[in-house]
Amino acid sequence: MTAAVPSASNDKRAAILDSALFLLANRGFHGFSIKRLAEGAGVAVGTIYLYFKDREDVINQLHGEIIRHVAGKVFVDHDTSLPLDEQYRRMVRNLWQFCVDNPETLYCKSQFDNLPPHLQRSQREDSHQIFEPLLVLYAKGREAGIIRDLSDDVLSGLAIEPCFFLVRQHLRGFIDITDEMRDTIIAASWRAISP
Amino acid sequence: MTAAVPSASNDKRAAILDSALFLLANRGFHGFSIKRLAEGAGVAVGTIYLYFKDREDVINQLHGEIIRHVAGKVFVDHDTSLPLDEQYRRMVRNLWQFCVDNPETLYCKSQFDNLPPHLQRSQREDSHQIFEPLLVLYAKGREAGIIRDLSDDVLSGLAIEPCFFLVRQHLRGFIDITDEMRDTIIAASWRAISP
Amino acid sequence: MTAAVPSASNDKRAAILDSALFLLANRGFHGFSIKRLAEGAGVAVGTIYLYFKDREDVINQLHGEIIRHVAGKVFVDHDTSLPLDEQYRRMVRNLWQFCVDNPETLYCKSQFDNLPPHLQRSQREDSHQIFEPLLVLYAKGREAGIIRDLSDDVLSGLAIEPCFFLVRQHLRGFIDITDEMRDTIIAASWRAISP
Amino acid sequence: MTAAVPSASNDKRAAILDSALFLLANRGFHGFSIKRLAEGAGVAVGTIYLYFKDREDVINQLHGEIIRHVAGKVFVDHDTSLPLDEQYRRMVRNLWQFCVDNPETLYCKSQFDNLPPHLQRSQREDSHQIFEPLLVLYAKGREAGIIRDLSDDVLSGLAIEPCFFLVRQHLRGFIDITDEMRDTIIAASWRAISP
DNA sequence: CATGAATGAGCTTTCATTCAT
DNA sequence: CATGAATGAAAGCTCATTCAT
């Protein structure tokens, strides 16, 4: 996987972003302090500022990494020759698995998505580019009449968001979801956008 | 002391909670400072501590108020003699309308729901009690075979959460939802939990 | 002298400005830290920010106080009915005495006056207003032909600045100036601007 | 090691001192950071510490260079066979010209001269040695009765300092001084120390 | 010699909480 | 009950200095 040379530089930067992921997931924006960030990364406070402009920059770059990371996993076995519902099933199962494997990333994402309007980041464009295959799927589905004629955002709200929500509840231990239930849920989410 | 009359005391307490709602919705937990809270409520800083133990307590009590407020509106025209799908449609439309009428309450709720695990409040029990009519509906639906055999939480995740999510996106101006689309969405959310 | 009620508020503010004067005079801008400022004033760090917007504001207000303080002393026995050279002698002797009595104020002033161009404050206008009687004296002297026909600034540079410089050297212990020498110096400074 | 040849070593040292001059003149002690110093000199941060013990040492050595530089220019056409007032006129005109040609050096000097007592450098001895011809002139003048019987320091304070001050004001754009005015000012400064 | 990544003490500023009035 | 001046811990960030390369 990690093909590039893991230079010392990248090690520190990566350690800081790892620490940031952990911190944001577990303590939220409020608990995300530079001191804790440095401790978690095993570096001095000043070192943070060699790799990032300021606190804001750490958070922004973390957001970018998260988006790239998740997209890389979700479309790993994407195959446009399959039936649309099967494509959808694969994507969401990958997404689900990714969340289970990387709960901290999931928690971070929901922190970003629920920032108050004031602080909202310009994340939507990034997400759109990254999740393009899903948008293509929506378009084809609408054309073929097997997906309801609703906008991309509404479709995602009906289909993908419930999955995000339920994994989160699952990972938090609020509800228990077996593999079988997971498939039922994914099927249900597909049904929500079927005509 | 006197139970019935809304005393001056209660006025101050209510003013503080109102200010808290506004602040949390618009500035997030980060911008939620006692000084701003006092300013918004038109009281002195010290006064906050006469009605609440500390910052945390204000937030916790705000959460309770929100839950009670929303429940009061959602079940206002609840009628168990109607068909289940019609009962569901009424509830969700009320919920939708409530969110549109009280966007700040909605923003606050999503702030609470997405707190990192560390800070998570014991909100789930409250919610359960408050939304009891919805749970009853689920139970009847499962029994009658017109709602999938999934746990209450999963059903809510598939049906209610998408609605919350989409109103939020709508109110934030990310997507535009007409009244007609709203009904389509509510119908779709029902379909997601239909067998 | 101090007619106004010395309210508690003013006490703190005055204590902070006193501490600022001492600090700036003895440690310079570099040694002027908020922590030391608070220590010197006998207040907590946060208290500074109740009376001043920020570090910059403390320094600006200190500058204003200094200007007002010195002007108040220099023209205390100003009498336009006296001959110009006697008026001049009085002013400069008062100025000299003021510097001897308030060495820290003098040190501060020279810190302000020698800031690098980048940070220069808009102090010249203030000074002009405050030292108006001196400017009037210059004007009359030029008209009467007993002061050289040079601009106000040049006259001050030739006459007043040497006095400032020499008191400073004196107070620093670099040179020793007796009262008699002082009068000789003042006379010499008048001669520098005589035709 | 090798004394005569201006080795590469000396180049670096000179570059650092040049950068220091620029920095101190334009940003003051506050803006004088090692990082900026290195950038300006085109060397790495660590290199500074090969040529200087620490920040303080750079500043001290800069001070020495400045004194030497100015002295070298002031006495370039010094001629003890000329009348004393002509000797004086030459020196001060050279000094004036030097300041006009090297405003940054002038700004630096005034920074040094107005340091708070705490940080004062042992500069006075240096100055004395360097400006020896001026001191000789004072001595001869006092003996001949054409310069007032005041100490060297006082004479400099009355005669030289006003010139420094006025060039500084001129270079800062606060006042405009023509060549003719300059000569008038120099004449006035001589008159201040004439009996 | 020369580098610049790494350090951590120290800076300015904010803010939850207290308490004398 | 109500106030708001006062506090000091903790935040984000800078920078002189060191040292492995």
Amino acid at D103: P
User: What pLDDT shows up at residue D3?
Assistant: 46
At residue B71, does pLDDT exceed 70? yes
Q: What is the pLDDT of residues C116-139, one digit of tens each?
A: 766 666 656 666 778 889 999 999
- Measure the CA–CA gap between A41 and A116, rounded to whole angstroms: 28
At residue C66, does pLDDT exceed 60? yes
Q: Would you state the structure tokens that stand for residue C145, as one six-digit string?
A: 């032909």
At residue A4, does pLDDT exceed 90? no
Q: What is the CATH number of domain D64-193?
A: 1.10.357.10
- The whole-chain average pLDDT of chain B stands at 88
Q: What is the pLDDT of residues B96-152, one digit of tens each?
A: 999 999 999 998 988 888 787 777 666 566 667 788 899 999 999 999 999 999 999
- The whole-chain average pLDDT of chain A stands at 89
Specify the DSSP element, H or E, that contains C179: helix C179-193
Q: What is the pLDDT of residues B21-65, one digit of tens each?
A: 999 998 888 889 999 999 999 999 999 999 999 999 999 999 989
User: What pLDDT shows up at residue C9?
Assistant: 63
Residues 165-184 of B with CB under 8 A from A: 165-166, 169, 172, 174-175, 177, 181, 184
At residue C71, does pLDDT exceed 90? no
Q: Would you state the structure tokens that stand for residue C1, as one six-digit string?
A: 């002298």
Region D100-129: mean pLDDT is 79
At residue A182, does pLDDT exceed 60? yes
Nearest CA-CA distance, residue D118 and chain C, Å: 6
Amino acid at B95: L
CB B41 within 8 A of CB B16: yes
If pLDDT is split at 50, 70 and 90, which confidence band does C4 have?
A: very low
Q: What is the pLDDT of residues C158-195, one digit of tens each?
A: 999 999 899 998 998 889 999 999 999 999 999 999 98
Q: How many CB pairs under 8 A join A and B?
A: 130
- Helix, strand, coil proportions of chain C in percent (round to 5)? 75, 0, 25
| Burial zone of A4 (CB within 10 Å; 0-12 exposed, 13-18 middle, 19+ buried) | exposed
Q: Which CATH number fits domain A67-192: 3.40.50.300, 1.10.357.10, 3.40.309.10, 2.70.98.60?
A: 1.10.357.10
- Sign of the CA dihedral running B29, B30, B36, B40: negative
User: What pLDDT shows up at residue C122?
Assistant: 60
Amino acid at B36: R
Quick check: C157 and D177 CB within 8 A?
A: no
User: What pLDDT shows up at residue D12?
Assistant: 93
Going by C-alpha positions, the residue among D146, D159, D149, D153 that lies closest to residue D190 is D159
User: What pLDDT shows up at residue A1?
Assistant: 42
At residue A3, does pLDDT exceed 90? no
Region B78-85: mean pLDDT is 93
User: What pLDDT shows up at residue A114?
Assistant: 76
CB A27 within 8 A of CB A45: no
Which bin fits D145, alpha (ψ -120 to 50), beta or left (φ > 0)?
A: left
At residue B175, does pLDDT exceed 80? yes
- CB proximity D154 to C under 8 Å: yes
Burial A167-177 (b: 16+ CB within 10 A, else e): bbbbbeeebeb
Specify the 3-state DSSP secondary structure of D131. coil
D172-175 long-range contacts (CB < 8 A, ≥24 apart) are: D172/C117, D172/C120, D174/C124, D174/C153, D175/C151, D175/C153, D175/C154
Q: Which residue has the tokens 């945390």?
A: B56
Q: Would you state the structure tokens that stand for residue B127, as one six-digit string?
A: 């919610």
First to last CA, chain D: 52
Chain F footprint positions (protein CB, under 7 Å): 1-20
- Kindly determine whether the C-beta of residue D117 is less than 7 Å away from any atom of nucleic acid strand F: no
At residue D2, does pLDDT exceed 70? no
Instruction: Look up the protein residue whose alpha carbon has the minimum distance to the C1' of E13.
Output: C54
Q: Which of B110, B117, B174 lies at the smallest CB-CB distance from A114?
A: B110
- Does an interface of 3+ CB pairs under 8 Å exist between C and A? no
Q: Would you state the structure tokens that stand for residue D141, as one six-digit string?
A: 């003048």
User: What pLDDT shows up at residue D56?
Assistant: 93
- CB proximity C187 to D under 8 Å: no
Specify the 3-state DSSP secondary structure of D95. helix
The better pLDDT of the pair C71, A19 is held by: A19
Region D35-55: mean pLDDT is 96
Region C80-86: mean pLDDT is 94
HSE-CB for D65 with a 13 A CA cutoff: 18
User: What pLDDT shows up at residue D118?
Assistant: 73
Q: What is the CATH number of domain D1-52?
A: 1.10.10.60
Q: Among the ranges A41-50, A163-172, C125-134, C146-155, which has the highest mean pLDDT value?
A: A41-50
Q: What are phi and psi of C178, to 5 degrees?
A: -80, 170
If pLDDT is split at 50, 70 and 90, which confidence band does B172 have?
A: confident
Closest-approach residue (CA) in chain B for A124: B174
Comparing A61-75, C45-59, C74-88, D2-16, the range with the smallest average pLDDT is D2-16
- Measure the CA–CA gap between D194 and B142, rounded to whole angstroms: 113
Quick check: C116 and D185 CB within 8 A?
A: no
User: What pLDDT shows up at residue D146?
Assistant: 95
At residue D4, does pLDDT exceed 60? no
At residue B7, does pLDDT exceed 80? no
CB B136 within 8 A of CB A132: no
Going by C-alpha positions, the residue among C100, A194, C92 that lies closest to residue B187 is A194
- Kindly determine whether the C-beta of residue A46 is less than 7 Å away from any atom of nucleic acid strand F: yes
Q: Which of D114, D117, D191 lies at the smallest CB-CB distance from C114?
A: D114
Closest-approach residue (CA) in chain D for C124: D174
Nearest CA-CA distance, residue D2 and chain C, Å: 38
- CB proximity B148 to A under 8 Å: yes
CB C163 within 8 A of CB C74: no
Going by C-alpha positions, the residue among B164, B124, B116 that lies closest to residue A111 is B116
CA of residue B91 to C1' of nucleotide E8, angstroms? 58
- CB proximity D33 to C under 8 Å: no
Q: Among the ranges A5-14, A127-136, A148-157, which has the highest mean pLDDT value?
A: A148-157
Q: List all residues 6 or more positions away from A6 whose beta carbon is below 8 Å from its beta carbon.
A: none
User: What pLDDT shows up at residue B109?
Assistant: 87
CB B24 within 8 A of CB B59: yes
Longest dimension (CA), chain D: 57
Going by the DSSP 8-state scheme, the letter that residue D119 receives in this structure is G
At residue D1, does pLDDT exceed 80? no
CB B112 within 8 A of CB B123: yes
User: What pLDDT shows up at residue B173?
Assistant: 86
- Measure the CA–CA gap between C156 and C150, rounded to whole angstroms: 10
Q: What is the pLDDT of residues A81-134, one digit of tens each?
A: 999 999 999 999 999 999 999 999 999 988 888 777 666 666 566 667 788 899
Give Rg (Cα) of chain D. Answer: 19
- Overall size of chain B counted in residues: 195
Topology annotation, domain B65-193: Tetracycline Repressor; domain 2 (1.10.357)
Nearest CA-CA distance, residue D104 and chain C, Å: 10
Task: Please give the CATH architecture assigned to the domain spanning C70-193.
Answer: Orthogonal Bundle (1.10)
Nearest CA-CA distance, residue D139 and chain C, Å: 17
User: What pLDDT shows up at residue D131?
Assistant: 84
Q: What is the pLDDT of residues C14-34, one digit of tens each?
A: 999 999 999 999 999 989 999
Domain boundaries, chain C: 1-52, 70-193
Q: Which CATH number fits domain B7-52: 3.40.50.261, 2.60.120.10, 1.10.10.60, 2.60.120.260?
A: 1.10.10.60
If pLDDT is split at 50, 70 and 90, which confidence band does D123 have?
A: low
Region D53-81: mean pLDDT is 91
User: What pLDDT shows up at residue D173?
Assistant: 87
